[in-house]
Chains A and B, each alone.
Chain A
């Protein structure tokens, strides 16, 4: 599991995160929501081990952590299958074996007939699905997703959320997903964590008990409205001109 205790992050003179306590259990899907610039992405980078925290402790007990970024970040000079197999190549898996695995994953994210295309020949949604397949390829038990669907339109986003639900959440891969979309968080999470302020702090946690199957569109909007009725949540999603000065 991932365990952040009293974690603070300072980058130069700016305090980004303050005293964050966050725990992700094996198989648990945690969604981080919050307004722009509150340190969600930084928190994810801390979890990924890309930045060192300045105070507190981070323990990542998962065997294998993978990530999907805001942008696909594919290698433009490698074909789709080779991009999916990147993590396997880094782990020394022989070529034939890793391409077989990549083909299987490409099929599961709905890119069966696009094996030999280069990233620029794929649409934005397809590229993001390749990035998801790449993250799944290494058999991760913990997945970090940084607003992976924010650049997609509504239909594609829905499709991508469905993929994450089936391939990640329902398969018991633990995940930490950053989003600024409450309904997205409510759809995919076991637990929604609201983070806000500058420096960012966890201001609210909400356990979602509804089974994934019965989280219909109507339910999502109602649950989001319920969440927004909490004064502390409402406050951090409201537009506050005076706080923009900082």
Chain B
């Protein structure tokens, strides 16, 4: 009963924040006119319009596919490279500056390069997403691999734990708690960069829709596409990544319930 109350309270808290934001938006729209700042209802109406014209799902699918492919490639490569860099100091020293360089290159520069290398299309968007999110997951995995308790490693030595088991039973479960926050950050970056890449490099997708809205001076349409991207990000984070983390870290559940002090 108490937990139900707490859950509804926390949901109510989040909802209050969202409603406040929407109210502010509505107020701004009433104040500045619906051409400069179309209200939430205009945006929703635009989304409905895209849906009726059959543009919505195609764009959502194209953007999701690109963002997820780039994100998956970067996560996998970042995890493997970060793990190796965390385990070997030499490799860590060699890869760290590379990661910093990648982190320093603005996404927009990657888009230009990607269009030059791969031409316009999905490939350019996927490449840009992968290149910008790789350093984030790399850093998470590297720190995770570095911070495994030395005492656990010594215990592993005493019990002569073989290499594959160290990876599976010692390193990976520990790294998960460092990699997931990094993945969630990377996921947000992935959507944003995908939309930006689409704006320049593709004919379809949310970014392309935004480009179209710009050409048509359709502010409500632009707002509508923004809403769509935010919704996609929320679904991916709370519908996929967070439940996955819960599933992968059952030992973290209940840690707070057991010891109330």
Chain A residues at the B interface, C-beta cutoff of 8 Å: 48, 50, 65-67, 69, 71, 73, 75-78, 86-87, 89-91, 118, 120-121, 134, 138, 144
Contact = CB atoms under 8 A, between A and B. Distances in A.
Nearest to A122: B258
B174 A50 contact: no
Given A89-B165, A90-B162, A69 B155 contact: yes
Nearest to A86: B159
7 contacts: A50-B157, A67-B158, A69-B151, A69-B154, A77-B251, A90-B160, A120-B251
Contacts of B251: 76-78, 118, 120
B165 A90 contact: yes
Contacts of A65: 158
Nearest to A121: B258
A120 B255 contact: yes
Given A75-B170, A77-B251, A120-B255, A138 B151 contact: no
B152 A75 contact: yes
A90 B159 contact: yes
Contacts of B162: 90
B231 interface: no
Contacts of A134: 159
Nearest to B248: A77
A48 B158 contact: yes
A138 B159 contact: yes
A84 to B, nearest CB: 11
Contact of B254 (A78, A87, A121): A121
Contact of B173 (A48, A75, A91): A75
Contacts of B151: 69, 71, 73
B176 to A, nearest CB: 8
B158 A78 contact: no
B152 A73 contact: yes
A50 B157 CA distance: 8
A67 B157 CA distance: 10
Contacts of A67: 155, 158
Contacts of B165: 89-90
Contact of B258 (A73, A87, A90, A120): A120
Nearest to B258: A121
A118 B159 CA distance: 20
A188 B255 CA distance: 36
B106 to A, nearest CB: 38
A66 B258 contact: no
A73 B155 contact: yes
A86 B161 contact: yes
Nearest to B149: A73
A118 B157 CA distance: 22
Interface in B138-174: 151-152, 154-155, 157-162, 165, 169-170, 173-174
